[in-house]
Structure 1
Amino acid sequence: MQKQLVGEIFWLRAVACLSVVVIHTFNFGYDFFPGERSSLTDLIRMAFLFSTPTFVFISEFLNAKSYSSSVPDGFLKKRVRILLPPYIILGFVYPLADHTYLEGVHSYAGAMGAYIFAVAKNLIFADYVAYFILIIIQFHILHILLSKFLLRMSPAVVLTVSFIINAGYLMFFNLVEPSSALPLHGYIWGKGYWIPFPGWIFYFALGYYCGKNYDALKMKVEKYRILVLLAPILFYSLSAVLQQSLLLEGTSKRFDMLLYTTSMIFLIICLSSRVKTVPRIIYLISNYSFSIFLLHLLFFYTLKPLPHMSMLGYQIYIFIIGVAGAILVSFLMNKLPFGKFIVGNVQNRANSTRRSGPSILVANNGKEISQPK
């Protein structure tokens, strides 16, 4: 039986992954070149904020496309076995690269104590880039619990309710000031609210119904392609106005990003569906996207601006090294039996994604499951 990969997912994963890296180049650029930060650079950075939510969509899309009503034995175990070890191991590694926790520390004992505290923050409070792993694990669990329910429910009802829940949750943390009487209020309003699933539930629901009804989705996207092409401009403009008027933080965990992210997902699907074969560079970045997501900041922490370098030059410099370095490290580590448990698993799939013959359902563990039309 012929096999066919979902080519649009390669594009979504690659574009979202590179967009995450771009966002972080702005963050580091602002640190070293604060004088070059402006409203314009903030608006440019905002255009890439769809990236992290898109990974929630992709995760559930793949789950629903392969297992819309039930999951096989060992479904969760296989995924946790791949996802959790990098979260734990890199929780120890990242403080070795990011030394900000050592500010004001002048002794070996103090440095060791600060390091242990930094590791504890990473692992207990998900206070580093791998926080996203905990979000994905939550949605694997929710897929097991809710897939049969979602199968029976009206997509319009579920999407509407999940949007209201998601938007209301984010609006609360975006617009309501934290109470100093609440324990850990600084952490909760700063990063803590990112982790629980209500902050992403709409992307989960959207991913489920898009994955389950993907052929119908592509027909709708093609039918309303003019609207699909214009929607990102409209919703980006709305987000730009809200960012300036409400002084919202430049983060993807904003209520207005629900609309903008959705429009960008459909735009990428619309454009990439017209490409008959996925280019090798997109295939490569998609395949290494998890490792790039996890590792690129390790390079950023060690790369300082070169003499006479502008912020843009520095951003390009760390972007190239961060992406290439993450791919190289992941490639070499995956040659080792235990490497995937440190930097993430890299799947080896067919280089071509021709759109003919039976469809292929690409599961999150990289297995290809053929299914007749």
Structure 2
Amino acid sequence: MFSTPTFVFITEFLNSYIYGATLKKGFLKKRLLYLGAPYIAMNIFWTFSHHNPTNIKELIEGFLLVSIRGYSVTYFIVIIFQFYILHLILGKMLKKLNPLPIIFISIIFTSSYWGMRLILPAPDNLLGSLVWGKEGQTIFIGWITYFLLGYYIGINYHNFMSTIRKYKYHIIGLFIFSIVLVLITHNLGINSAIGSKRLDTPIYTTSVILMFFLLNSYCLLVIIHLAFIYYI
């Protein structure tokens, strides 16, 4: 439930931590070469192995299905490239804003997006077929929480890690609340499918990520303490 969201979170976290608000020159070109080219090659193979195209038209249609429209396990690469573009466009502006209300609003927004796809019937038009179809899972709207979380933790990493234990009870409380919420939505049949595209996944994944960082802060403290004792 949190593995794919956490993976795309890590992508933005590393970009923000290493490059700050502005990605370096040539960043996209390098990613297209080292990530985009293998992605295209993999999906060409996937097209032949799963769709058995017999002509150019079927090859193109099959390739678009698996590479752009989300009909393969590699769909998260599309999300990652959208994160790169969002960072380029929004990086400087986001740095000036208060992270907490933005992340809070994004959790509500992202949860509403997945909930809308789950509860409401798809409109009989192009927008409905895109948002409610497989394509809807590759649009950045459903993943914006993890982008913002990664951006703000990455760009404020050292300050974040130095203060995270002050909020340990808040984080633990959020973690417990999110687990209870998942159990309720699952057992009531509101969202019985196990996956990353649920209405409760944004808050659950956020709490898991924060718990990882909280536990890491204590692990790091223990390592430093043991090293200090050893060298004494």
- What TM-score, normalized to structure 2? 0.82
Specify the alignment match of 1:112 in structure 2: 54
Match of 1:254 among 184, 198, 207: 198
Shift of 1:130: 1.2
Specify the alignment match of 1:270 in structure 2: 214
1:61 aligned onto 2:13: yes
- CA 1:191/1:152 → structure 2, altered by over 3 Å: closer, same or farther? same
**1:90-101 alignment runs, 5 A limit:** 90-98=42-50, 101=51
CA contact (8 A) 2:21 2:155 kept: no
Shift of 1:119: 3.1
1:214 aligned onto 2:166: no
Shift of 1:190: 3.9
Number of residues of Structure 1 aligned to a counterpart in Structure 2: 221
1:189 aligned onto 2:141: no
1:83 aligned onto 2:35: yes
- CA 1:75/1:260 → structure 2, altered by over 3 Å: closer, same or farther? same
Shift of 1:238: 0.8
- CA 1:143/1:256 → structure 2, altered by over 3 Å: closer, same or farther? same
CA contact (8 A) 2:175 2:207 kept: yes
Unpaired stretches in structure 1, ≥5 consecutive residues = 1-48, 103-110, 277-352, 356-373
Specify the alignment match of 2:180 in structure 1: 237
Cα RMSD (Å) of the superposition?
2.8
Specify the alignment match of 2:229 in structure 1: none
- Which structure features the higher share of helix residues? 2
- What TM-score, normalized to structure 1? 0.53
Shift of 1:354: 8.6
CA contact (8 A) 1:68 1:151 kept: no
Shift of 1:90: 0.9
1:138-179: per-residue Cα shift (whole Å, max 9, x none)? Answer: 111110111110111111232233233322222211221113
Corresponding letter in the other structure for 2:150: G
Specify the alignment match of 1:156 in structure 2: 100
Specify the alignment match of 1:18 in structure 2: none
Percent identity reads 34
Specify the alignment match of 1:177 in structure 2: 121
Corresponding letter in the other structure for 2:217: S
Match of 2:73 among 129, 132, 142: 129
Within 1, Cα distance between the matches of 2:110 and 2:119? 14
Corresponding letter in the other structure for 1:133: I
CA contact (8 A) 2:67 2:74 kept: no
Unpaired stretches in structure 2, ≥5 consecutive residues = 226-232
